[in-house]
Structure 1
Amino acid sequence: MSALVGNVGWMGWNLVLALVPLGLARFLFGHRPRPVWLLWTGGVVFVAFLPNAPYVLTDILHIPADMAVAHDSPWLAAALLAQYALLVGAGFVAYVLSLVRLERWLAERGLSHGAVLGIDLSLHALCAVGILLGRVFRFNSWDVLTDPRGLLGTLTVPHPRTMVVLAILFTVLAGGAAVLRALPAIVNRAARSV
């Protein structure tokens, strides 16, 4: 039981950070016109915080240690897995909804489908880099302002293994977002066929 309670603090913080880009997307990319300076400033903050939403996918790295604590209690193990599933699910849904809000806003301003797709893929790539910077180098979104030298100091020619990790992260983000977007249509078709 202590593992469940012990996770609440860091999971709660990671969930708050995961919801920040969704709040920014709703504010910036809503139907009300925003001043250009606010869109640019807010857009930079949005991009800086966007990796926090899918970052929670990497929190599954903590599961083995929690399962070791719960080895004698199947109920605790099930509760811990549910806790992780809720965190990962909420974070990834926030990620996809943030992107969808931005994509609709861009399309409403006349950007072509190809341009929107290019921006979307670029954001997946930037988020993969952001997740790596957060998980491996322990940087935070606000380090863009508070520690730009430290952040830039880590940006070197990546090791081949790092490129593999980035490619996997990009694939998970792009593929997972595509699946999550397709899910409502799949559910509707399945419901009609029953």
Structure 2
Amino acid sequence: MEFSRTMGSQLFHWLVHAWDVFLFRMPLISWNLFLGLIPLALSYWLFKGSPRRTLLWGIVLLVFIAFLPNAPYVLTDVIHLVRDIRYHSSIWLISLVLLPQYFLFILIGVEAYVISIINLGDYLRRIGWRRYILPAELLIHALSAVGIYLGRFKRFNSWDLVTNLDAVTNTVLDDLLRKWPVLVIAVTFVILTSIYWLMKQVTLGVFERFHSNYSADSSWPEEF
């Protein structure tokens, strides 16, 4: 009986500690995830509905492009995971709390990025610009790579494009003349392009399977 009480007490304290660890990163994770989901929501308004291409549509498109790097930016938060793993020695805490938390967080952010661009591609296809899909994807990956670099290393935010445009512009022009920033941006571009291509196939495969199971719904879009 005493052994059971001791085990129960240890389990309770472990669960409390695990909950504290889980909550410790939640504000940062929730904020970054919120920023990453903004372009996903905008992509449905821009590309899946039927809004006319007015001045408002163009402004929202610029906001979409400005916020889009926030979605794959979650990949860089793996540095927090590495720090947390070094700080916590419990293999159970790492396996059951930290890794699932970060994995789900990163997966949602990356998937938001992938679906946002898929929606753009579907829009270009519907208006007869199919040949521009690949160039548009590559351009977005390049802009997102620059955005991730500015966010992670220069600590700029998306709204700095409005509130602090001069500093952002000067930083980009200055850093593009130096080897290290260009290398970081190039590597980020390759990683983004590779992950996007892989996740795009998986995402379209999943939704194609879902579509085949509910083929009676004639309103389902051609690709996603």
Structure-2-length-normalised TM-score: 0.79
Question: What secondary structure, in the 3-state scheme, does the structure 1 residue paired with 2:25 have?
Answer: helix
Structure number with higher relative contact order (C-alpha < 8 Å, ≥ 6 residues apart): 1
User: Is the 8 Å Cα contact of residues 28 and 34 (structure 1) preserved in structure 2?
Assistant: no
Shift of residue 69, structure 1, vs aligned partner: 2.5
Provide the rounded CA distance (Å) in 1 between the counterparts of 2:127 and 2:195: 26
Q: Out of 43, 50, 54, which is 2:61 matched to?
A: 43
Q: Does 1:172 align with 2:191?
A: yes
Alignment of 1:106-145 (within 5 A): 106-113=124-131, 115-145=132-162
- In structure 2, list runs of 5 or more residues that go unmatched: 1-17, 210-224
Q: Write out aligned runs for 1:27-176 (5 A).
A: 27-71=45-89, 73-78=90-95, 79-113=97-131, 115-155=132-172, 156=174, 157-176=176-195
Write out per-residue CA displacement over residues 33-61 of structure 1, whole angstroms, 9 at most, x where no aligned residue.
33421221011000000000000000001
Moved more, 8-17 or 159-168: 159-168
Consecutive unaligned residues of structure 1, counting only runs of 5 or more, are 190-194
TM-score computed with the length of structure 1 as normaliser = 0.90
| Cα gap change, 1:26 to 1:134, in 2 (>3 Å) | same
Instruction: Tell me how far 1:20 sits from its aligned partner.
Output: 0.3
Alignment size in residue pairs: 187
Letter in 2 for 1:167: A
Aligned residue number for residue 8 of structure 1: 26
Task: Give RMSD over aligned pairs.
Answer: 1.8
Identity %: 38
Distance 1:185 1:39 in 2: 27
CA contact (8 A) 1:3 1:66 kept: no
